């Protein structure tokens, strides 16, 4: 199992997610992002907007995901 923070995954806080795979990690981060969106948390809304901009460019989004996946792969097991 590995851990990454909300910030490491393009979010805005230090909340830690723990998962066995990158896809699981991404799903946790997305779920948290949606909760924060519902609470209209300003910092997360801003971070999500930045991600939204990134998603307009398919290559940029793919590069971002690849680099995060690599970051995940390189993390030590906890």
66 CB contacts (<8 Å, ≥6 apart)?
none
Q: Which is nearer to Zn ion, 13 or 45 (CB)?
A: 13
Cβ atoms of residues 77 and 27 within 8 Å: no
Q: Which is nearer to Zn ion, 50 or 62 (CB)?
A: 50
Site residues (CB under 5 A) for Zn ion? 6, 11, 13, 15
Rounded to an integer, what distance in angstroms lies between the CA atom of residue 36 and that of residue 34?
5
Q: How far is the CB of 47 from Zn ion (least distance, A)?
A: 8
Q: How far is the CB of 15 from Zn ion (least distance, A)?
A: 5
Q: Which is nearer to Zn ion, 11 or 25 (CB)?
A: 11
Partners of 2 in beta bridges: 19
Q: Which residue has the tokens 């909300």?
A: 6
Q: How far is the CB of 31 from Zn ion (least distance, A)?
A: 11
């Amino acid at each position: 199992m590995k851990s990454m923070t909300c910030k490491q995954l393009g979010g805005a806080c230090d909340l830690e997610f723990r998962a066995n795979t990158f896809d699981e990690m991404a799903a946790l981060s997305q779920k948290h992002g949606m909760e924060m969106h519902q609470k209209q948390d300003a910092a997360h809304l801003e971070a999500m907007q930045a991600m939204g901009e990134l998603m307009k460019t398919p290559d940029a989004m793919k590069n971002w995901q690849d680099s995060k996946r690599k970051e995940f792969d390189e993390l030590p097991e906890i």
